[in-house]
Structure 1
Amino acid sequence: MSSMEDVWAYREETLYPRLFGPERTGIYVLDFDDFKALGAEDVDPRWLHLGVFEFAPTPARNTWLYVTSGGSTPWETEPADYDPEDYSWIGSELVIEVPSQPQDQWAIKLLRRLLAYNVLLAHSHFGEDKQPFDYGDRIPVGEAIREKGTVALRHVALMEPKHYPATAQLDSGRFDFLHLVGINDSERNWAKAHSSEALLRLLEVHGGAPVTDARRKAVV
């Protein structure tokens, strides 16, 4: 029977390299400030082991890819209670792809902040009616995704990836990859009227998804 450490090691040492390539840096772990910025003072020390990996381009993928690690760790489940058919802990990990390596590490900072936010959602920090992230969600991120002379992508939309498996299996249960795509204010407003799914399809047609390129033009 796999321990929590075995599950954790499999995800980071076997699954992620298989999906995203052998060259990586990290893990860039969360800290108290990531949670304090979201209004949380009481932080479970285990949450400070969660973080983000940076994967370099591969022969099959010419982008830099960033993925969280920890949202699927079975922190609160004993091995005897693992259910492969159920979700493992929060049941998701966050991913974003960009054309080139950001000099200011905004992709790492963004995923750290959103991972902390998702953990707090899962523990009802913002109220029982607030649920963890799921496909189709739109999340404001300020001006985290911006390059000089471009329109700020102040939001992300969460899409189901098609170019790598959307769901992965651990001994402790399964989890979904939630793929982030940066969107601007006008696109967010259009999605409110037409749905995130419609916007993401439009972005795919115009090359704005699944890769987040801060230099692209608005599609609406």
Structure 2
Amino acid sequence: MPKGKSGNEKPKKSAPKKAVEKTEKMEAASSAEQKVDPPKSSAKAKSEPGCDREQLDAQKLVAAGGEITYESDEYIELEDSRVFKMLQGMQLSPEEAREAAVRQRNLLIESWNTRDELYRELFGEPHHVTPGPYAPPPVLKLEDVILPEEEKERGETGDPGNPNLDEQHLNILVYAPDPTRPYWTYVTAGLSSPWLQDAPAEVTGFGCEIMIKAKEDMPWAPQILRTLAFYILNHAGTLSPGVRIDLNGPIIPGSNSKLSNIFIWYPDDAPDCWYYLPSGGFGLFIAIGITPDERQFAESIEEYGTWCIQQVLRQMGHDQVTDPYRGTVMEQEGIGLALLKTKSFADNFRENVAYGSESFES
């Protein structure tokens, strides 16, 4: 089991670190089809039969990360963390549990502030936030910690699906168009929150935040992001570039929109795809709406299909903006040439990779 740093050195804090350069955008797309179910009331991941809930959550958290990578003034050895002890089957004393709860809240607050600073750097001031309020959780004092067994004694129960709980709040930040960004931008804030961590890890929270660009400010965009967020939370998973998802209906429920699928890719607005919070790293990705025949084209390419449909959308003037009322690009003038050029580029790229060529430029 990896250990954190020890000794008397106090590593310096840093502003949001833009680490890990964006990987080649022509990554092999995920071929597994995913379907998004309607969001459920619980905002927690499902537990498995016969497993202790907290221990299962701890296993999922460490499986997602495992190593301590972020340096802070209050450095916690992995062996001292609540997660590690639960994995080892150790019972925390009431004093240890209270200290872990305070550490978790402090990490949550620091990570919230760092992500907010990052979003302001990338997108500016939000036009509005839904739902409110949008603020870091309050500081938790040791004497104010109420342990689960104490809640039972008092007859109190926690609702894991309550979005107002400090450690579970998910916001969607909405940014208005400006001269350099002529579209509405919607970004989740909460999927990367360290809900289960009391120490830094390789990956924070569920390891991602998702955004959508739209021509107009309409309710469907935050609704889609909430659906994706609940999908991630309920299945204890994540979304990564290359994934294509069937929405099982129009992108605007009850409408005649031809967009009924989305794919996940790298947003042009974020210079890096991977960012760091005090609690660990997360990816900032974009969801883009497509029609069934556009998805069919992507799947016909085998590798690089998601990259290909993104390039076709660019060539046909849509870029990464989702317009629920647009028609399929497969009926636009000039689509034949766009498909041929894009597919040929992907085939050449695949061939150069197979032969290990270093002279090919993408």
The bucket for the TM-score relative to the shorter chain is 0.7 to 0.9
Q: How far did 1:171 drift?
A: 1.2
State whether residues 208 and 284 of structure 2, in contact with CA within 8 Å, keep that contact through their aligned partners in structure 1.
yes
CA–CA distance in structure 1, aligned partners of residues 203 and 223 of structure 2: 26
Distance 1:217 1:146, change over 3 A: farther
State whether residues 21 and 56 of structure 1, in contact with CA within 8 Å, keep that contact through their aligned partners in structure 2.
no
2:200 matches 1:82? yes
Q: How far did 1:77 drift?
A: 1.0
Q: How far did 1:167 drift?
A: 2.1
Distance 1:146 1:191, change over 3 A: farther
Q: Quick one: percent identity of the two aligned structures?
A: 29
2:28 matched residue in structure 1: none
Counterpart amino acid of residue 208 in structure 1: H
| Greater mean alpha carbon deviation, residues 201-210 or residues 42-51 | 42-51
1:50 matched residue in structure 2: 170
2:207 matched residue in structure 1: 91
Contiguous gaps of at least 5 residues in structure 2: 1-71, 73-105, 133-158, 331-362
Residue 136 (structure 1) aligned to one of 242, 258, 262: 242
Computing the radius of gyration from Cα coordinates, the structure with the larger value is 2
Contiguous gaps of at least 5 residues in structure 1: 30-41, 123-130
2:285 matches 1:178? yes
Q: How far did 1:147 drift?
A: 10
Which residues of 2 match residues 56-205 of structure 1 at below 5 A? Answer: 56-78=176-198, 81-83=199-201, 86-102=202-218, 105-122=219-236, 131-141=237-247, 142-145=249-252, 151-165=257-271, 166-194=273-301, 195-205=305-315
Q: How far did 1:24 drift?
A: 2.3
CA–CA distance in structure 2, aligned partners of residues 8 and 192 of structure 1: 38
CA–CA distance in structure 2, aligned partners of residues 146 and 201 of structure 1: 27
The Cα offsets for residues 131-166 of structure 1, whole Å up to 9 and x where unpaired, read as 421111111222124897x64200111111233232
Q: How far did 1:89 drift?
A: 1.3
Distance 1:205 1:214, change over 3 A: same
1:190 counterpart SS class: helix
| Greater mean alpha carbon deviation, residues 65-74 or residues 139-148 | 139-148
State whether residues 51 and 69 of structure 1, in contact with CA within 8 Å, keep that contact through their aligned partners in structure 2.
yes
CA–CA distance in structure 1, aligned partners of residues 200 and 327 of structure 2: 46
The Cα offsets for residues 33-67 of structure 1, whole Å up to 9 and x where unpaired, read as xxxxxxxxx84545751131111112321110001
1:202 counterpart SS class: helix
1:218 matched residue in structure 2: 328
TM normalised by structure 1 equals: 0.78
Counterpart amino acid of residue 161 in structure 1: P
Cα RMSD of the aligned pairs, angstroms, is 2.3
CA–CA distance in structure 1, aligned partners of residues 291 and 280 of structure 2: 35
2:112 matched residue in structure 1: 8
Relative to its length, the structure with more strand (as a share) is 1
CA–CA distance in structure 1, aligned partners of residues 125 and 205 of structure 2: 26
Q: Which structure is higher in RCO with an 8 Å CA cutoff and minimum separation 6?
A: 2
Distance 1:212 1:146, change over 3 A: farther
CA–CA distance in structure 1, aligned partners of residues 168 and 107 of structure 2: 19
Distance 1:53 1:139, change over 3 A: same
Q: How far did 1:70 drift?
A: 0.7
1:3 counterpart SS class: helix
Q: Count how many residue pairs are aligned between Structure 1 and Structure 2.
A: 192
Counterpart amino acid of residue 176 in structure 1: G
State whether residues 160 and 177 of structure 1, in contact with CA within 8 Å, keep that contact through their aligned partners in structure 2.
yes
The Cα offsets for residues 82-108 of structure 1, whole Å up to 9 and x where unpaired, read as 13xx22111100100011212xx1111
CA–CA distance in structure 2, aligned partners of residues 24 and 4 of structure 1: 24
CA–CA distance in structure 1, aligned partners of residues 160 and 321 of structure 2: 33
CA–CA distance in structure 1, aligned partners of residues 293 and 253 of structure 2: 15
State whether residues 111 and 279 of structure 2, in contact with CA within 8 Å, keep that contact through their aligned partners in structure 1.
yes
State whether residues 173 and 189 of structure 2, in contact with CA within 8 Å, keep that contact through their aligned partners in structure 1.
yes
Distance 1:163 1:169, change over 3 A: same
